[in-house]
């Protein structure tokens, strides 16, 4: 028998069940928010799993980290955000006072983000790495008014 055969019985090769168990362990660590991780950092970390429409990963975050935030999707839709991807693209922006990001020229989403600066458990607010785009617009408008 060749060295790749599981029939040798030497225990050196994982069974299909063991491979599947390891796969799901790895997947679960990606799909579960870290302790006090903010929603935006969670979405950035799970970006490869995001769909173009819907709030699948936001719902996962809400279910596991912020179960009391039952109106979260409704609040996002009032902001004009209709998916996880759109939340990253149009809902938040990098907080330039904290870090400088290398962003995709097409969508504006950073290629990577530093470790989350954390929020309290149950919060749906972004950590200090991010700012709500509406807040930035409001601050810019206020600064413009003050210069006049």
* pLDDT tier for residue 1 given thresholds of 50, 70 and 90: very low
- Which pLDDT does position 112 carry in this prediction? 94
DSSP-derived 3-state class of residue 47 = helix
Rounded to two decimals, the pTM is 0.77
* pLDDT tier for residue 8 given thresholds of 50, 70 and 90: very low
% residues pLDDT > 90 (the chain): 62
- Which pLDDT does position 49 carry in this prediction? 86
- Which pLDDT does position 13 carry in this prediction? 59
Positions of E strands within the chain: 92-94, 130-132
Domain positions in the chain are: 15-147
Tokens of 50: 């995001």
């Amino acid at each position: 028998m060749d060295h790749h055969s599981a029939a040798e019985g030497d225990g050196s090769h994982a069974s299909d069940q063991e491979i599947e168990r390891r796969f799901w362990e790895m997947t679960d660590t990606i799909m579960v928010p870290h302790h006090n991780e903010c929603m935006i950092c969670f979405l950035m970390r799970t970006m490869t799993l995001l769909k173009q429409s819907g709030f699948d990963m936001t719902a996962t975050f809400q279910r596991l980290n912020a179960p009391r935030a039952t109106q979260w999707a409704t609040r996002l839709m009032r902001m004009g955000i209709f998916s996880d991807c759109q939340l990253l693209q149009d809902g938040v922006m990098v907080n330039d006072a904290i870090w400088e990001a290398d962003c995709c020229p097409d969508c504006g989403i950073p290629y990577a983000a530093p470790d989350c600066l954390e929020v309290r458990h149950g919060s749906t607010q972004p950590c200090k790495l991010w700012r709500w785009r509406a807040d930035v617009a409001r601050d810019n408008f206020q600064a413009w008014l003050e210069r006049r």
